């Protein structure tokens, strides 16, 4: 999916319309981002969770996005 879409400049509404409601209690949640839980980390051993994070500017446009683990 990240190879298909370049989310930079997308509105928060457009991201949510494509991906659905973000996680409410993601460990990486901050005031200027939204997070999506992707599941257990790929590979062995999978001891962490993977998250897709989106950061927004003051106009609610994506400035950065990445997949990370906790």
Sheet containing strand 33-40, strands side by side: 33-40, 49-56, 62-69
Instruction: Output 15 or 28, whichever has higher pLDDT.
Output: 15
Instruction: Kindly report, residue by residue over 24-37, the tens digit of the pLDDT.
Output: 866 566 777 899 99
Q: For residues 16-22, give the mean pLDDT.
A: 95
pLDDT higher than 90, residue 65: yes
Q: For residues 39-52, give the mean pLDDT.
A: 78
For residues 55 and 28, the answer to whether their CB atoms sit within 8 Å is no
Distance between CA atoms of residues 63 and 52, nearest Å: 14
Q: For residues 13-34, give the mean pLDDT.
A: 84
């Amino acid at each position: 999916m990240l190879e298909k879409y370049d989310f930079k400049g997308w509105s928060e509404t457009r991201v949510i319309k494509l991906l659905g409601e973000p996680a409410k209690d993601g460990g990486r949640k901050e005031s200027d981002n939204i997070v999506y839980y992707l599941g257990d980390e790929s590979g062995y051993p999978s001891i962490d969770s993977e998250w897709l994070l989106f950061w927004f500017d003051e106009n609610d446009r994506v400035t950065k996005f990445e997949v990370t683990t906790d």
